[in-house]
Amino acid sequence: MTNRLADTLSPYLRAHADNPVDWYPWGEEAFEEARRRDVPLLISIGYSTCHWCHVMARESFADPATAALINEGFVAVKVDREEHPQVDGAYMAAASAFTQNLGWPLTVFATPRGRTFYAGTYWPPEARPPMPAFRDVLAAVREAWTLRRAQAEESADAVTDALARAAESVPSDLPDMVAIATAAETVAQREDRQYGGFGGAPKFPVATTLRFLQHPLVREGAPEATAAAARALTAMAGSDLRDADGGFFRYATQRDWTVPHYERMLTDNAQLLDVARDAGDERTVRGIASFLIDALRRDGGGFGAAQDSESTIDGVRNEGGYYLRPLAERAGLEPPAVDGKVITGWNGLAIGALARAGAAFGEQSWLDAAASAAEQVLRINRDADGALVRASLDGRASAAVATAADLGLLADGLFALALATGDATWAIAARGVLDQSIDGRAGDDPLLSAQGIATSPDQTDGDLPSDAAAVATAALTAWWLGAGDRYREAAVSTVTALAGRSLEQPFAHGTLLRVAAGLAVPPRQLVVVTEARDSALAVVARGADAEAVAVVTTGQARAFAEAGFELFEGKDASAERAYDCRAFVCRLPVSDPAEVSVAR
């Protein structure tokens, strides 16, 4: 049989199109059917490069007997977490009430209103204590719904209400330099001093945390925390977590960074590109950039979401076997598939990272790749009304709404591209995207909202910045470029709303704390006006420690100023000049590279 998934946008859903399970994609039709039949929803959430998602699909969803139990007692919904991150976030938060072993595949049992009354992750086809068999779970849940329905619904409502309350926050003061340095020291206390990085097994790159520890304020106020970030990068770059072609795997299953989980994510690699650039690790920078461009870039210029952990070798599906071969031996093998979804916010991360690295290392091809990705996202990832959507695949836009994080990450990437190229049109586009999120025009999932389910039950960083932190980051960048005080106020409002939580749990709020650090010190802004973009003055400026560095021609400086970016006003001298500013107060312009300080 073929179910309803064959014509969906998601490669993950399409892979389940021939299951005997009568799958529905996420949408009102599934909810209506659950209400009509008066049965629970079985919501299965995963993504195309998830190894254990593949395993559960082969073991259970492809099994006719198991599928019959699902079809008889439930309305089954298959969700790609990368296409619907708000759905994933809401149900992951709800699942935490039932299990501490969170991950994917995520299996949620919900009332016809979509409210969770039981959840877990992977269940095997036969019992493997302490894990029960998936078919036994299905039978137990169906029995509970049939015989103890009122209790199940009461539990579901209680979980939903508790998450809504947890999403509330009490504003506090803007953190000062001492508070931020103390938060960084708290994070550093979790360092694994033997193997580098943070925590035990499984061990993740936690790029958002590393980026916070690299901030200049932390470098000055808590230098040992910055050193911990450097040690983490060195350990990861020299370990099995980094593939021979330069790309990083999702995480290591062992504390010493061995036995990776072999999927390779755009999110991790784009953020680690920034970490390596900040650390001055050119070899790691070049390796990641090559992986992004050679492996993840799709036709049209956008970047795919991830590369699979599995591939087919000698006719057999194999996890990690491709990556375990030397590079020279891979040429004759079919590489693991790439999930070709061009996700708006994730591409924003890649655009920004490649733009910053391209400017720092003088690699025009990286800037060109960033620009091509930006052009595709801005052109293709839109609905019929022109609003940005979550993703596209093969030139076809998804119906899933763009999240606040999508808009914030894309805007910040476009600002970085504007600085790296001197082209004000990217900054104008970035400001337009950012305004949508600041003005509250980022979409919430309509089904969750209709059922009163919080779409952002918390604002912690996961494998990428939270919604709030992503928007605040872009707003701070916009202010640095002189877009106006409203953008600083937007960043301040977000930070103060979440400051209490971020200082209590700094490891989970690295991006927000990085924004707080950016607000706690006056920004340094360097503008070089020159007709020779590779002049000695421009090269020195690009290597300087500053929040914003722009190398522009006279005409480009005027274009920025005319577009409302006040940092560039009056900086259109006919002779080559460098303007070194602190919070928009600029020193006398200089023409001698020796007069431009690399340090702050």
How far is CA 29 from its chain centroid?
A: 29
Report d(CA 402, CA 345) in Å as an integer. Answer: 8
The pLDDT value recorded for residue 457 is 64
Q: 599: phi > 0 → left, psi -120 to 50 → alpha, else beta; which?
A: beta
98-123, pLDDT tens digit by residue?
888 889 999 999 999 999 999 999 99
Average pLDDT score over residue span 431-460: 86
> Please, what is the Cα angle at 474 between 471 and 478, to 5 degrees?
135
Average of pLDDT values for 169-182?
92
DSSP 554: H
Tell me phi and psi for residue 76, to 5 degrees. Answer: -90, 130
Using a pLDDT cut of 70, give the percent of the chain over it.
Answer: 99
Confirm if 339 and 332 have CB atoms less than 8 A apart.
no
How crowded is residue 570: how many other Cβ atoms within 10 Å of its Cβ?
12
- On the question of pLDDT at 456 being above 70, the answer is no
Distance CA 70, CA 113 (A): 18
Among 26, 1, 28, 6, which residue's Cα sits nearest to residue 16?
Answer: 6
Measure Cα distances from 541 to 243, 294, 439, 596 in Å.
33, 30, 35, 7
Q: How many helices (H) and strands (E) does the chain have?
A: 25, 19
Q: Tens of pLDDT along 193-215?
A: 999 999 999 999 999 999 999 99
Angle between helices 485-504 and 177-188 (to 10 degrees): 40
pLDDT bin (cut points 50, 70, 90) of residue 452 is: confident
DSSP 587: P
What is the predicted pLDDT for the residue at 168?
72
What are the helix (H) ranges across 99-214?
Answer: 134-147, 149-166, 177-188, 207-213
Q: What is the pLDDT of residue 2?
A: 67
Residue 95 has pLDDT above 80, yes or no: yes
DSSP per-residue letters across 222-233: -HHHHHHHHHHH
**116-121-123 Cα angle (round to 5):** 115
**125, 135 in Cβ contact below 8 A?**
yes
Q: What is the pLDDT of residues 499-519, one digit of tens each?
A: 999 999 999 999 999 999 999
Where are any strands of DSSP class E within 477-547?
Answer: 524-529
Choose between 416 and 160: higher pLDDT: 416
Residue 305's pLDDT band (boundaries 50, 70, 90)? very high
Residue whose token pair is 């409302």 = 564
Each residue's pLDDT tens digit, 34-71: 999 999 999 999 999 888 999 999 999 999 999 999 99
pLDDT bucket at 548, cuts 50 / 70 / 90? very high
Question: Letter for the amino acid at 382?
Answer: R
Residue pLDDT, tens place only, 363-407: 999 999 999 999 999 999 999 999 999 999 999 999 999 999 999
Task: Look up residue 35 and give its two tokens.
Answer: 């209400």
Give residue-wise pLDDT tens across range 527-546.
999 999 999 999 999 999 99
Count CB atoms within 10 A of the CB of residue 268: 25
d(CA 599, CA 465): 28
Over 70: is that where the pLDDT of 1 sits? no
**C-alpha to C-alpha distance for 145 and 48, rounded to whole angstroms:** 31
- Residue 369 DSSP class: H
Percent of the chain topping pLDDT 90: 88
pLDDT band with cut points at 50, 70 and 90 for residue 136: very high
pLDDT mean over 145-170: 86
Who wins on pLDDT, 129 or 458? 129
Which residue has 């015989």 as its token pair?
147
pLDDT at 171: 82
| pLDDT per position as a tens digit, 261-270 | 999 999 999 9
